[in-house]
Amino acid sequence: MTRDHDVLEPLVRIPGVRAALLVAEDDGLVVSEASMTDVDTAAIAALSSSLWGKLRKTSVASGHRPPQLLQLRADHGALLVAGLERELLGVAVTGDTGNTGLVRLALLALQRDGVR
Partner 1 sequence: MRAIEPWVGQPLNRFVEESAARVVLLMTSSGQVIAQHGFTRSLDVMSAAALGAGIVASTGELGALLGGENFGALVHQGQDQGVYLAPFTLSAGPWIGLVVYGAETSLGLVQFFFGQLVSELVEATPTTARPKAVLADDFEDELDASLRALFGE
Rule CB under 8 A: is residue 39 a binding residue for partner 1?
A: no
- HSE-up of residue 91 (Cα within 13 Å, Cβ side): 34
Q: Is 23 in the site for partner 1 (CB under 8 A)?
A: yes
Q: Determine if 108 is a binding residue for partner 1 (CB under 8 A).
A: no
Q: How far apart are CA 34 and CA 37, in angstroms?
A: 9
Q: Which of 85, 57, 83 is closest to 69 using CA atoms? A: 83
Q: Check binding of 50 to partner 1 (CB under 8 A).
A: yes
Span interacting with partner 1, options 10-18, 23-31, 68-76, 93-101, rule CB under 8 A: 23-31
Of 16 and 53, nearer to partner 1 (C-beta) is 53
Outline where the chain has alpha helix (H).
9-12, 41-61, 100-113
Residue 89, Cα to own-chain centre: how many angstroms?
A: 6
Q: Least distance (Å) from partner 1 to the CB of residue 79?
A: 15
Decide if residue 41 touches partner 1 (CB under 8 A): no
Residue 78 β-bridge partners = 73, 94
Residues forming contacts to partner 1 in the complex (CB under 8 A) are 23-24, 26-29, 42-43, 45-47, 49-50, 53
